[in-house]
Structure 1
């Protein structure tokens, strides 16, 4: 029987054989591209006690990763919906950006200033939890190269192979380590300290918490549901926040807060 070198199973076999070597990530991506059409990948490890680690990346469109080191890894990741999965300790599986993003994500400044510039038009991620306090996200995207979102058939295939993909992720990166605990409250507390030291603005705990959620792309209604307060109360806190910061828009809030994210100490 004639061997068919492009069979998906062959690429899976190569990836399995490369486990615990530097060749794994590239071969893993090659297997995934045989399962469904993908324009790019970004493989990241998130930790409790430090910034994310870029494990592997590949894209034909250079804008996808143009600012990942200068912007994303230095602080913008704190506003990313996939990082929110890490904080919330989401179980292993496949997640699509449009399903996990806050309700106003595509209208917030992080999306306009950073995410939109990557040209990504759709993205999903296989999430594995290889060690306590560590999650590895293998993000797979569609960008300006194709300009097409993942189809229902693509998502069906992505879900079908999720148990294999997540198991491989957890085996490959089982040696990663993290310590401590990390929550959104740690970010908002660090933001309070930094904005006080840099701008002499004294925010309350609740004001800083709401500032962070606004920056992530949550509407007042979404914030109210997360915090267990009324939308009207959220609006009052937002007005107080804007008044203290001498600003009048989300864009100004982003301009004020974004430079601080890269300097936070947890």
Structure 2
């Protein structure tokens, strides 16, 4: 795709003049449209284990239900972008770079992510103060195909500008997160228990069992889990069998179903 410099410079001017986040997403959209081709944009803010904030998106009502409302209800907890954001990493990443080794064959992928019908998703990760990371995602649908190497390289050149813009556009997200939690508290904020933590407690899983099963649902193989946790593959499989027996299930699809059902309660 040829760069369209007139709208690009216009969007950059809007970035420089931006005083508040009222149209920050729209400014970002216009700048990216002048550089690469894509189908949709969504911008989320993440903090610790909390429900992500929806800062901007371009979806119609039906797609908004899948990409935003349903995502915020619980599936975000299994999203590679969510886990990368919690690590505070900065940069531009393709989803497939961040996904666990069995992500694209996982029940999470088949049951939720495949509903998005995306060919590829890339994200600008921008850490802010207060343990918050803003992720500005560009999505290409199945009919559009993945981002070509040249366009992805162009996005890489834009990454420092996007990071500077996001820090200017969304400077007070901590207050928004606090508002969703009831706000008003001062002093050090304790890390909240996530919806997933509550599910594991409700299902009476030990901390080790919960850690392993969460990685299973994210799409990690037993080998990958063993490497992450510093235990043998055999030990991982024993814990997994014990959880399946405790829950009275025999497959990952049943595990995901129980997980999602308990998230909704």
CA contact (8 A) 1:39 1:59 kept: no
Q: TM-score, normalised by structure 2?
A: 0.86
The two structures, once aligned, show a CA RMSD in angstroms of 2.1
Instruction: String of CA shifts for 1:109-165, please: whole Å, max 9, x gaps.
Output: 111111111111101111112221211110111014x43001111110111110000
User: Match for residue 170 of structure 1?
Assistant: 167
- For structure 1, list consecutive stretches of 5 or more residues without a partner in the other structure: 196-201
Which aligned pairs between 1:51-200 and structure 2 lie closer than 5 A?
51-59=51-59, 64-90=63-89, 92-144=90-142, 146-177=143-174, 179-181=189-191, 189-195=197-203
CA contact (8 A) 1:64 1:119 kept: no
How far is the alpha carbon of 1:12 from its aligned partner? 1.6
For structure 1, which segment, 76-85 or 12-21, has the greater mean C-alpha deviation from structure 2 after superposition?
A: 12-21
1:208 to 202, 207, 210: 210
Describe the shift of the 1:243–1:230 C-alpha distance in structure 2 as closer, same or farther (beyond 3 A). same
CA distance in 2, matches of 1:74, 1:188: 11
More helix as a share of residues = 2
- For structure 2, list consecutive stretches of 5 or more residues without a partner in the other structure: 178-188
Instruction: String of CA shifts for 1:51-81, please: whole Å, max 9, x gaps.
Output: 1110110147x66433234321111110100
Which aligned pairs between 1:29-44 and structure 2 lie closer than 5 A?
29-44=29-44
CA contact (8 A) 1:133 1:181 kept: no
Q: TM-score, normalised by structure 1?
A: 0.86
